[in-house]
């Protein structure tokens, strides 16, 4: 299990300041019920991709390629049976080597001839040795602009902030975050992270790696200081290798639970670019299962 999130050389994005905790606890945020299959293959400068789920029926085809020859720009076009058309452009901003720009456009195919404005999301970000900064703008939900900044103060402390403004509502919000990466205790690495926003949401989280970094343990406590509603979550992640037919198959097993009785587990097998993920989530004593195959 990688410990890169515990000793960053390059500053993380603000939203990734607690990345090891999110990876251990929030692994089911993209849970897909039933069977989900994704097939992709690199063909010279192109990468076609097909996603499929039988129930409910969902099919999505994508094609990714470089925008210009010998450039660091990529463009991806996707269309689905739900009549959704997506366009994503990702590019470094010359002459800078650490500034990246991304534009995402989404629209329904039946709206193309109506002249209706599609949903547009754009951001530009920079990451260097000690800080990262990102600016975002979108016309989604009547428009929003935002900015985030994160700085590595030293090898142990990082701090950042995020702010946004909604033009139509004439309102905005902001949040602060602090992270401490502790010195290894008995060779065990750990980090503590705290976040707070103007809505009164406070979150305190902890993550550590055990047994030569093959086991990750994370806890997160959330409290709304206005309503005093709270939630406590615990996650466990185990990584090991299976050797079969002279081949190595990395395996990752995750478990999570909370005092709100929202439980989840998954196991992921991988070999090369192929991955098989089997997940279950239990809420209100009702289990749901999902199988995801990516080749």
The yes-or-no verdict on residue 63 having pLDDT over 90 is yes
CA proximity to 125, closest of 96, 152, 159, 160? 96
Region 42-56: what's the mean pLDDT? 90
Nearest 5 degrees, angle CA 288-CA 229-CA 25?
Answer: 40
Higher-scoring residue by pLDDT: 240, 220? 220
Q: How confident is the model at residue 7 (pLDDT cuts 50, 70, 90)?
A: very low
Place of tokens 């999505």: 60
CA distance 67 to 103: 13
Tens digits of residue pLDDT in 141-188? 778 999 999 999 988 999 999 999 998 888 899 999 999 998 777 667
The Cα 136–Cα 165 span in angstroms is: 11
Is the pLDDT score of 1 beyond 50? no
Per-residue pLDDT for 4 more than 70? no
pLDDT beyond 60 at 6: no
- Phi/psi for 284 (5° steps) reads 55, 35
Reported as type and span, the H/E element at residue 172 is strand 171-185
Does residue 3 register a pLDDT over 60? no
Mean pLDDT computed over 22-35: 88
Inter-residue contact 25 to 43 (CB < 8 Å) = no
For 246-281, the pLDDT digits (tens) are: 888 899 999 999 988 789 999 999 998 899 999 999
Kindly tell me if the per-residue pLDDT of 111 is higher than 80: no
Q: Which of 91 and 10 is assigned the larger pLDDT?
A: 91
Tell me: pLDDT of 113 over 90: no
Q: Residue 11: its pLDDT value, please?
A: 58
């Amino acid at each position: 299990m990688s410990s890169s999130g515990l000793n960053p050389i390059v500053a993380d994005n603000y939203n990734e300041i607690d990345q090891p905790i999110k990876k251990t606890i929030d692994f089911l945020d993209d849970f897909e019920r039933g069977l989900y299959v994704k097939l992709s293959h690199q063909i010279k400068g192109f990468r076609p991709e097909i996603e499929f789920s039988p129930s409910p029926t969902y099919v999505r085809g994508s094609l990714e390629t470089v925008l210009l020859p010998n450039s660091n720009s990529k463009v991806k076009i996707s269309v689905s049976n739900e009549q959704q058309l997506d366009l994503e452009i990702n590019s470094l901003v010359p002459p800078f080597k650490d500034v990246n720009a991304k534009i995402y456009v989404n629209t329904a195919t039946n709206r193309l001839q109506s002249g209706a404005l599609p949903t547009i999301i754009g951001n530009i970000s920079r990451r260097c040795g000690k800080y990262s900064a990102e600016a975002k703008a979108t016309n989604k939900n009547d428009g929003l602009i935002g900015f985030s900044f994160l700085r590595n103060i030293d090898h142990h402390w990082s701090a950042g902030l995020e702010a946004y403004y909604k033009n139509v509502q004439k309102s905005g919000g902001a949040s602060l975050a602090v992270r401490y990466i502790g010195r290894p205790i008995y060779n065990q690495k750990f980090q503590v992270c705290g976040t707070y926003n103007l809505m009164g949401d406070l979150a305190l989280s902890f993550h550590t790696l055990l047994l030569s970094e093959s086991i990750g343990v994370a806890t997160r406590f959330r409290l709304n200081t206005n309503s005093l509603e709270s939630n406590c979550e615990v996650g466990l992640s185990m990584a090991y290798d299976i050797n079969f037919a002279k081949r190595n198959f990395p395996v990752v097993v995750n478990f999570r639970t909370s005092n709100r009785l929202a439980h989840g587990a998954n196991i992921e097998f991988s070999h090369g670019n192929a991955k098989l993920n089997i997940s279950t989530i239990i809420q209100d004593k009702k289990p749901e299962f999902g199988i995801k195959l990516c080749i």
